[in-house]
Amino acid sequence: MPAAPLSQKEIEDRLGDLPGWSLEGDRITCTYRLRTHFAAVGLTVHVAQIQDELNHHSDLTLGYNTVTLSVNTHDAGGVVTENDLNLAARVVAIAAGHGVR
Ligand SMILES: C[C@H](O)[C@H](O)[C@H]1CNC2=NC(N)=NC(=O)C2=N1
Protein backbone atom coordinates (compact mmCIF):
# COMPACT_ATOMS: atom_id res chain seq x y z
CA MET A 1 0.00 0.00 0.00
CA PRO A 2 1.81 3.20 -1.10
CA ALA A 3 2.07 6.07 1.36
CA ALA A 4 -0.70 8.68 1.09
CA PRO A 5 0.00 12.04 -0.59
CA LEU A 6 0.39 15.01 1.79
CA SER A 7 -1.14 18.46 1.40
CA GLN A 8 1.11 21.43 0.67
CA LYS A 9 0.40 22.75 4.19
CA GLU A 10 1.33 19.43 5.77
CA ILE A 11 4.56 19.37 3.76
CA GLU A 12 5.46 22.98 4.58
CA ASP A 13 4.76 22.39 8.27
CA ARG A 14 7.02 19.35 8.35
CA LEU A 15 9.77 21.11 6.38
CA GLY A 16 10.00 23.57 9.26
CA ASP A 17 11.74 20.82 11.20
CA LEU A 18 14.07 19.90 8.32
CA PRO A 19 16.74 22.62 7.99
CA GLY A 20 17.85 23.24 4.41
CA TRP A 21 14.95 21.33 2.85
CA SER A 22 12.31 22.98 0.66
CA LEU A 23 9.37 22.09 -1.55
CA GLU A 24 10.21 22.54 -5.24
CA GLY A 25 7.22 21.70 -7.38
CA ASP A 26 6.21 18.11 -6.65
CA ARG A 27 9.32 17.11 -4.73
CA ILE A 28 11.37 18.09 -1.66
CA THR A 29 15.01 19.00 -2.11
CA CYS A 30 18.14 20.02 -0.25
CA THR A 31 21.71 20.90 -1.22
CA TYR A 32 24.46 20.28 1.33
CA ARG A 33 27.79 22.07 0.94
CA LEU A 34 30.83 20.22 2.32
CA ARG A 35 34.39 21.35 3.02
CA THR A 36 35.98 19.04 0.47
CA HIS A 37 35.08 16.87 -2.50
CA PHE A 38 35.95 13.75 -0.54
CA ALA A 39 33.60 14.81 2.28
CA ALA A 40 30.83 15.21 -0.32
CA VAL A 41 31.55 11.69 -1.59
CA GLY A 42 31.37 10.39 1.99
CA LEU A 43 27.97 11.99 2.57
CA THR A 44 26.76 10.59 -0.76
CA VAL A 45 27.72 7.05 0.24
CA HIS A 46 26.11 7.43 3.68
CA VAL A 47 22.88 8.73 2.11
CA ALA A 48 22.89 5.83 -0.36
CA GLN A 49 23.18 3.41 2.57
CA ILE A 50 20.18 5.01 4.32
CA GLN A 51 18.17 5.00 1.08
CA ASP A 52 18.78 1.29 0.58
CA GLU A 53 17.84 0.65 4.21
CA LEU A 54 14.56 2.57 3.75
CA ASN A 55 14.06 1.30 0.20
CA HIS A 56 13.35 4.90 -0.72
CA HIS A 57 15.66 6.73 -3.13
CA SER A 58 16.23 10.35 -4.05
CA ASP A 59 17.79 11.77 -7.17
CA LEU A 60 21.21 12.15 -5.56
CA THR A 61 23.62 14.56 -7.28
CA LEU A 62 27.29 14.88 -6.36
CA GLY A 63 29.08 18.12 -7.25
CA TYR A 64 32.62 19.30 -6.49
CA ASN A 65 31.74 19.88 -2.79
CA THR A 66 27.96 19.63 -2.81
CA VAL A 67 25.38 16.87 -2.45
CA THR A 68 21.88 17.57 -3.71
CA LEU A 69 18.90 15.36 -2.89
CA SER A 70 15.60 15.69 -4.68
CA VAL A 71 12.81 13.23 -3.88
CA ASN A 72 9.16 12.30 -4.09
CA THR A 73 7.36 8.97 -3.97
CA HIS A 74 7.13 7.20 -7.33
CA ASP A 75 4.70 4.54 -6.02
CA ALA A 76 2.26 7.33 -5.05
CA GLY A 77 2.38 8.86 -8.53
CA GLY A 78 5.28 11.26 -8.04
CA VAL A 79 4.02 13.26 -5.07
CA VAL A 80 5.47 13.98 -1.62
CA THR A 81 4.56 11.45 1.08
CA GLU A 82 5.66 10.53 4.59
CA ASN A 83 8.37 8.35 3.04
CA ASP A 84 10.09 11.39 1.56
CA LEU A 85 9.93 13.37 4.80
CA ASN A 86 11.23 10.35 6.71
CA LEU A 87 14.22 10.09 4.35
CA ALA A 88 14.87 13.83 4.73
CA ALA A 89 14.78 13.52 8.53
CA ARG A 90 17.30 10.65 8.44
CA VAL A 91 19.63 12.72 6.26
CA VAL A 92 19.27 15.80 8.47
CA ALA A 93 20.26 13.61 11.42
CA ILE A 94 23.60 12.61 9.83
CA ALA A 95 24.50 15.79 7.95
CA ALA A 96 26.24 17.63 10.80
CA GLY A 97 28.50 14.63 11.36
CA HIS A 98 29.81 15.06 7.82
CA GLY A 99 30.77 18.65 8.50
CA VAL A 100 28.23 20.34 6.26
CA ARG A 101 28.79 24.12 6.05
C1 LIG B 1 10.30 -1.91 -5.92
C2 LIG B 1 10.87 -0.89 -4.94
O3 LIG B 1 10.55 -1.30 -3.62
C4 LIG B 1 10.20 0.45 -5.16
O5 LIG B 1 10.39 0.84 -6.50
C6 LIG B 1 10.75 1.56 -4.23
C7 LIG B 1 12.21 1.87 -4.46
N8 LIG B 1 12.56 3.25 -4.13
C9 LIG B 1 11.65 4.26 -4.20
N10 LIG B 1 12.04 5.54 -4.13
C11 LIG B 1 11.15 6.56 -4.26
N12 LIG B 1 11.56 7.84 -4.21
N13 LIG B 1 9.86 6.29 -4.44
C14 LIG B 1 9.36 5.05 -4.51
O15 LIG B 1 8.14 4.87 -4.68
C16 LIG B 1 10.27 3.95 -4.37
N17 LIG B 1 9.87 2.67 -4.42
Centroid of ligand 1 to alpha carbon of 59 (angstroms): 12
9-67 residue pLDDT tens: 999 999 999 999 999 999 999 999 999 999 999 999 999 999 999 999 999 999 999 99
Return the ligand 1 atom nearest residue 58 CA. Answer: 12
With a 6 Å cutoff on the Cβ, whether 74 touches ligand 1 is yes
Is 76 exposed, middle or buried (CB count within 10 Å of its CB: 0-12, 13-18, 19+)? middle
Centroid of ligand 1 to alpha carbon of 35 (angstroms): 31
- Asked, for residue 3, whether it belongs to a domain, the answer is no
Is 14 exposed, middle or buried (CB count within 10 Å of its CB: 0-12, 13-18, 19+)? buried
- pLDDT given at position 73: 97
Tell me the best of 27, 55, 58 to mutate to test the pocket of ligand 1, counting ligand atoms within 8 Å of each CB and taking the most.
Answer: 55
- Asked, for residue 22, whether it belongs to a domain, the answer is yes
- Count of structural domains within the chain: 1
Domain span at 36: 10-98
- Asked, for residue 93, whether it belongs to a domain, the answer is yes
Task: Indicate which CATH number applies to the domain containing 15.
Answer: 3.30.1360.20
Task: Choose among 26, 32, 21: nearest CA to 85.
Answer: 21
- Asked, for residue 27, whether it belongs to a domain, the answer is yes
Confidence check: pLDDT of 1 > 90 = no
Confidence (pTM):
0.96
